[in-house]
Structure 1
């Protein structure tokens, strides 16, 4: 069994344009004579690998704690796409629709959904979408892409690190941090290759 870390470092990943930079506040230090090391971290919720909840673009919609955890744990498909806009026609022809509930898009940070592909996904059986780009939608349509997916209660994982992941089927574990009432949360995402799990029942 191989475990692949597909998360980015919160403090080393460039932030989305306009978002605040993260930093560490060193509260106590053993080297400074304190009894322990103690740090606090400040970060925008949309930095590095994170999930957008429906509340991100839809006022009054589902927040972090309302997203079912089983959406973030289970079999997923990784699909590689060329850089540039992902049209509805491309999605229809190249995305795995049959039996796919979790889809991760590997576009080397340069593939983005257009409205047409977002609506196609929203009407499918997909329950979770992820991307290695900083944001899921193409410039000029990003808000509508988010709204199309989030209004269908499809959480969006952004900022994945899929550089060392081949297209194929994996087991995904990507639980968000439990931060009540907010529109996004950091997460630690891993893929398990050649997975076999036992329930313990006989």
Structure 2
């Protein structure tokens, strides 16, 4: 078994335009005479490698703590796409090889039809190495389409040097009641 970390380090991860940077502050420090070290983290739930819940761009009352965990664990297919926006016909023709989790590398965005197409294919989670499934200023239609189908979105994956193919994904989100997203530690597992 080989574990492949496909998460960005949170503090140095790419930042979506307009989002605040993540910050850490030592609230307790052994160097200052405290009994232990303790760090406070301040960040957007959409910073770094993270997942979006349906309530991020829809009126569905499904927050991250309500998402079924099977969206974040399971067989996944990692594919490369060369283009700015994933073509709907290409997506329809894609052989999912029995996987319910799709990861697309190449920084491509998705169309407003992606949600229905993915649902028809049985996809429950869509991952991407892009900062968003939609372009800056045009992120609403793809997000709404995908999240309205209760398909989890995992964005800002670090896929450099990972071969396309079939893997097992483990990417549990931090459980935050009422939150529209959460950081994940995404790991691909390659069985020998």
TM-score > 0.5 by shorter chain: yes
Question: Which runs of structure 1 show a deviation greater than 3 angstroms over 4 or more consecutive aligned residues?
Answer: 116-119, 138-141
Describe the SS at the equivalent of 1:70.
helix
Counterparts of 1:50-69 in structure 2 under 5 Å?
50-69=50-69
Partner residue of 2:117 out of 115, 120, 133: 120
CA distance in 1, matches of 2:33, 2:135: 51
- Distance in 2 separating the partners of 1:169 and 1:117: 21
Alignment partner, residue 31 of structure 1: 31
Aligned pairs, number: 192
Within-5 A mapping of 1:100-115: 100-107=99-106, 110-115=107-112
167-176 or 117-126, which deviates more? 117-126
Give the deviation of 1:137 after TM superposition.
1.7
Is 1:75 the equivalent of 2:75? yes
Q: Do structure 1's residue 96 and structure 2's residue 95 form an aligned pair?
A: yes
Confirm or deny: 8 A CA contact 2:115 2:147 kept in the other structure.
Answer: no
Change (3 A) 1:138 1:14: closer
Per-residue CA shift, 1:158-180, capped at 9, x if unaligned? 01111121110001111111101
Q: Which runs of 5+ in 2 are unaligned?
A: none
In structure 1, distance between residues paired with 2:95 and 2:135: 21
- Structure 2 residue 179 is the aligned partner of structure 1 residue 148: no
Q: Encode CA deviations 1:145-199: one digit per residue, 9 max, x unaligned.
A: 111111100010001111121110001111111101110000111010026xxxx
1:158 to 2:155 alignment: yes
- Structure-2 residue corresponding to 1:169: 166
Kept in 2, the 8 Å contact 1:10–1:43? The answer is no
SS in 2 for 1:104: strand
TM normalised by structure 2 equals: 0.93
Superimposed CA distance per residue, residues 127-147 of structure 1 (whole angstroms, 9 cap, x where no aligned partner): 111001100123554211111
Matches within 5 A, 1:189-200: 189-194=186-191
Q: What CA distance in whole angstroms lies between the structure 2 residues aligned with 1:96 and 1:141?
A: 28
For the aligned residue pairs, the C-alpha RMSD in angstroms reads 1.5
Report the CA distance between 1:118 and its aligned residue.
4.1
Distance across 2 between alignment mates of 1:138 and 1:194: 35
